[in-house]
Homo-oligomer: A and B are copies of this chain.
């Protein structure tokens, strides 16, 4: 059975998954790179070419980071993760943050109220722009995933909808010991969520805590 998975989704102690003021020169707003600092040094993120090529870590952070790819046949992301534009597309030249050969190498469903033609990139990534609720979007992603799992890539607005609809089987959240104070909250509107998940916590020497939630009844 194809699972729905969240990986490496980083939130501050006060529950924010991104800062305020997302912009072209500040994809996470005032949070800067603090939420993803734990990942930047891992072998997995270096191998994606995202973060230079100095020495890579192989510890527990990398172990979790590396679970991101295997078995995934499609991603669903929100329009704000895709890029900094809001409202009607002023500029369809924007092709995401990830260059001509994005890290996904699978179809990617981008949720948005502002449709535009699918965007075929190098390396197997195609962005499909879809205006739909979580259940229908998941159906479309599954049709594109060739029987493999679907990753919900974020951001918070998107993941919240899938959690609210009880569509997520595996939930890997990284709690980063910072207080962001403002931005987009992951847990909003999800009171009692824990009743649907078994939760395991693993701390890392880097200071973050990896939480893995497995939906009860999910394989």
Contact = CB atoms under 8 A, between A and B. Distances in A.
**Which secondary structure dominates where chain A touches chain B?**
loop
Nearest to A176: B194
Interface in A166-219: 175, 177-182, 185, 187-194, 199-203, 207-209, 211
Contacts of A191: 179-182
23 contacts: A13-B175, A13-B187, A13-B211, A14-B15, A14-B187, A14-B188, A14-B190, A175-B175, A175-B209, A177-B201, A178-B192, A179-B193, A179-B194, A181-B189, A181-B190, A181-B192, A182-B191, A200-B207, A201-B203, A201-B208, A202-B203, A203-B203, A209-B209
A217 to B, nearest CB: 18
Give how many copies assemble into the complex: 2
A194 B37 CA distance: 14
A16 to B, nearest CB: 10
Interface string A53-93: 00000000000000000000000000000000000000000
A187 B175 CA distance: 14
